[in-house]
Amino acid sequence: MRLYTHPACLAHDPGEGHVETPARLRAVLRALDRDRFAALDRVEAPRATPEQLRRVHTAAHVERILGLAPAEGTVRLDEDTLMSPGSAEAALRAAGAAVAAVDAAMAGHGVRAFCAVRPPGHHATADRAMGFCLFNNVAVAAAHAIAAHGLRRVAIADFDVHHGNGTQAIFEREPRVLFVSSHQSPLYPGTGGEDERGVDNVVNAPLAPGEGSHAFRELWEGALLPRLHAFRPQLVLVSAGFDAHRDDPLADLRLNGEDYAWITARLVRLADAHADGRLVSTLEGGYDLAALAASAAAHVEALMG
Ligand SMILES: [Zn+2]
């Protein structure tokens, strides 16, 4: 089992008081530094190439993000998405981690991987940074699996509390990708209704504010996991956001660390059943530092099996 990260991901700083802070990744890495994670194969993430990014983003978007980082201070891309001097490098390493993890999974070494990276990715669309996201890391990974490895069925499971609107928009006309998401509704970014089905390759399962373990597990067990199994993915990608935790300040679901271990074990089983065990998970949200660290640790522990 591999752990991909890069120090550059700590140098993306949206500014004082922003919830998507470098302290998030520091908390995750500290939690994964304990003895029980000693067996993790730790790998420094390479940069994604412009070619890899352009599989899902417009050339104009890639150029803009790479050219926008200010020499000092921050530059604002939308209400809550900012770039600092280190942001372009962080975004390249975050997407590059997911690409490298796909290559490793396809090569058979350490078939499972967790990418402890930031900025997160699932809100970024083909031509727009939004919701703290610059490049769509999981989408870049899925497109790489198709283009570089010739896969015909790639599943993306997204359990972040927010809907992965960017991932959905990028793949809603691409039947080689199945995108499956549980998320709170109503909540930012406002997409993710059950009627949004793409070309029958998008499954959205909204949860109401206040719902917790029971509703979450019922949704995955009853609707989302059966769809994933029926798709018989050759690779399982995970948008692992931990902001559906009960302590998270940005949302109102009530999951706990055990729920993350539970869903992770089921996704591992999915990968074992169809994908020769190949599973690549990448960090999305999670804004209570203690809850994030504990949930990510539960996730990685379940990935290690
Ligand atoms: Zn989120």
- pLDDT tens track for 164-204: 999 999 999 999 999 999 999 999 999 999 999 999 999 99
Write the DSSP symbol of residue 46.
P
> What positions carry a catalytic annotation?
123
CA–centroid distance, 80 to ligand 1, in Å, is 13
CA–centroid distance, 250 to ligand 1, in Å, is 8
Q: Long-range contacts of range 13-19, CB-CB < 8 Å, 24 or more positions apart? A: 13/74, 13/84, 13/86, 13/87, 14/74, 14/81, 14/82, 14/83, 14/84, 14/132, 15/74, 15/82, 15/84, 18/80, 18/82, 19/249, 19/250, 19/287
pLDDT band (50, 70, 90) for residue 40 = very high
Mean pLDDT for the stretch of residues 84-101? 98
Distances (CA, A) of 19 to 165, 185, 193, 250: 20, 21, 26, 9
Supply the pLDDT for residue 69.
Answer: 83
- pLDDT tens track for 46-69: 999 999 999 999 999 999 999 988
CA–centroid distance, 107 to ligand 1, in Å, is 31
CA–centroid distance, 147 to ligand 1, in Å, is 28
Supply the pLDDT for residue 111.
Answer: 87
Please tell me the pTM assigned to this model. Answer: 0.98
CA–centroid distance, 160 to ligand 1, in Å, is 5
Q: Cα-flanking dihedrals φ and ψ of residue 280, to 5°?
A: -125, 120
